[in-house]
Structure 1
Amino acid sequence: MPLTRSEKADVIDSIGERLDDHSIIYLTNFQGLSVAQTNELRGRFRAAGVEYQVCKNTLARIALDRIDGLDALDEYFAGPTAIAFSDDPAKPARVLKDFLEDEDIERPELKAAYIEGEIYEGHEALDQLSKLKSREELVGDIVGLLLSPAQTVVGSLTGPGSTLAGAIQSMADSDEEA
């Protein structure tokens, strides 16, 4: 049953809001997936915190036209298209890559990934994007780097020679050995 004009307007507004809210957008071709595979993929995206929506190309293009800077994606809305919206550039890529490996299939294929104003396309891009560290992993690495000098200083202060008497004793011991 075709959508009414008001239903189409609601879909356009919904897609537009998601496009505007997320700086990371993946477009996939899902043609050839069974219903069970499609449901499995949706579940994996949901578990990863990624919104995944199949949409009509015409309605998506209208939503794209309303947002500055996204018109470069217009050419990718041909054929069956689903959109994955995320705040983490690696999560959708990891879900897609894992799904392709687990199911041992060719689809869904990455049409394009729009990340912070840049467009990535093809299977090679999917491989590279899936290897990116998540925001949480990067923050953890930075915190670890910031804490490591502090841990070294604390270790030095709590080890032998941390008091004046201990330092004098260490120097005396080294003089006796020499």
Structure 2
Amino acid sequence: MSNSNILEVKAQKVQEIREKMEKAKSLVLVNYQGINVEQDTELRSTLRKNNVEYKVYKNTMVTRAAQELGIEGLEQYLEGPVSIAFGYDDETTAAKLIADFAKAAKKLEIKGGYVDGKVYDAELMNQLAKIPAKEVLIGKFLGSIKSPLSNLVYMLNAVAESKEA
């Protein structure tokens, strides 16, 4: 393979990473060193079912893609063996799934991440993992406003019936 072919392949890989980063609502950088093949397969399966893509790329290529997108501060988490979970549906699912899996696979750890235009350290990404999914939050909110509204409807109905009588 000639030098120009190698550079072309690298440029294509950086473009691929960049496109995934642009599309994702969150990135979770993970130190996967020490987990076995069975654990890795189980993790990938769980992530795939939840529309989270899990990839290993060369750190230099991820750094270059991040720089092209104007993302600063991510490179500090791109040292050693790092995999990336690209969360496409929402901001919390990828972090939540990785954090939950890390409870069983002690060697797996979140190094940092990128959500909503900001780079976060491991501690903040683990806090993000504790936030319920958007659907759960909306359900709780609707449940909290449903009760007073149904009481209001009941009361207005009672007033209307008493005026009719």
Same fold, judged at TM 0.5 (above): yes
1:85 CA displacement: 1.3
The alpha-carbon distance between structure 1 residues 22 and 58, as it changes in their structure 2 partners (threshold 3 A), is: same
Q: TM-score, normalised by structure 1?
A: 0.77
Matched, 1:131 2:130: yes
1:44 CA displacement: 1.1
SS at match of 1:111: strand
| Structure 1 unaligned blocks of 5 or more | 167-178
SS at match of 1:32: coil
1:107 CA displacement: 2.3
Q: 2:38 & 2:8 partners in 1: Cα distance?
A: 31
1:98 CA displacement: 2.1
Partner residue in 2 for 1:56: 58
- Percent identity over the alignment? 32
- 1:23-67 deviation per Cα after TM superposition (whole angstroms, max 9, x unaligned): 411111111121221111111111122111111111111111110
| RMSD of equivalent CA atoms | 2.5
Larger Rg: 1
8 Å CA contact retained: 1:112, 1:120: yes
**Matched AA of 1:135:** K
8 Å CA contact retained: 1:113, 1:120: yes
Partner residue in 2 for 1:9: 11
Partner residue in 2 for 1:109: 109
Deviates more, 1:18-27 or 1:57-66: 18-27
1:165 CA displacement: 4.9
| Aligned residue runs from structure 1 range 1-178, under 5 A | 4-68=6-70, 70-86=71-87, 87-101=89-103, 103=104, 105-122=105-122, 124-159=123-158, 162-166=161-165
Partner residue in 2 for 1:175: none
1:141 CA displacement: 3.0
Q: 1:118 & 1:148 partners in 2: Cα distance?
A: 37
SS at match of 2:132: coil
SS at match of 1:107: coil
1:160 CA displacement: 7.8
The alpha-carbon distance between structure 1 residues 140 and 29, as it changes in their structure 2 partners (threshold 3 A), is: same
- 1:96-133 deviation per Cα after TM superposition (whole angstroms, max 9, x unaligned): 222122x3x322211102222333323x4354222102
8 Å CA contact retained: 1:156, 1:162: no
Q: TM-score, normalised by structure 2?
A: 0.83
| Structure 2 unaligned blocks of 5 or more | none
8 Å CA contact retained: 1:89, 1:132: no
8 Å CA contact retained: 2:95, 2:129: yes
SS at match of 2:161: coil
